[in-house]
């Protein structure tokens, strides 16, 4: 059992190199990701009973907002920082 754990530990502890940004990422795919993230977040906020009952975002809403913010940041990077805030 200890041997199996050590093999698992040695295989899973190796750091993976970060994936470089994709240079051929088109502006439309970045816009699609931003629109999709915004739509998903807004739809969740409209339909989540917990968000409405507590008048505060639930854990899922916080996660979706984080995804939306990352997509917005990626959109601004791709546009060179000259895009209007969505």
Instruction: Answer positive or negative: Cα dihedral of 57, 59, 62, 63.
Output: negative
Q: CB-based burial of residue 43 (10 Å sphere; 0-12 exposed, 13-18 middle, 19+ buried)?
A: exposed
CA–CA separation, 74 and 37 (whole Å): 12
Helices (H), ranges, the chain = 2-12, 27-47, 49-54, 59-78
CA–CA separation, 1 and 59 (whole Å): 37
The model carries a pTM of 0.60
pLDDT in tens, 33-60: 899 999 999 999 999 999 888 888 999 9
Asked if pLDDT for residue 18 goes beyond 90, the answer is no
Q: What's the pLDDT score for residue 1? A: 42
Asked if pLDDT for residue 75 goes beyond 70, the answer is yes
Asked if pLDDT for residue 61 goes beyond 90, the answer is yes
């Amino acid at each position: 059992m200890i041997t199996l754990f050590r093999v698992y530990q040695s295989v899973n502890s190796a750091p993976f190199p970060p994936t470089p940004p994709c240079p051929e990422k088109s502006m439309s795919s970045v816009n699609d990701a931003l629109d999709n993230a915004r739509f998903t977040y807004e739809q969740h906020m409209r339909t989540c009973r917990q968000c409405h009952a507590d008048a505060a975002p639930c854990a899922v809403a916080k996660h979706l907002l984080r995804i939306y913010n990352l997509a917005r940041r990626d959109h601004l990077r791709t546009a060179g920082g000259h895009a209007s805030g969505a």
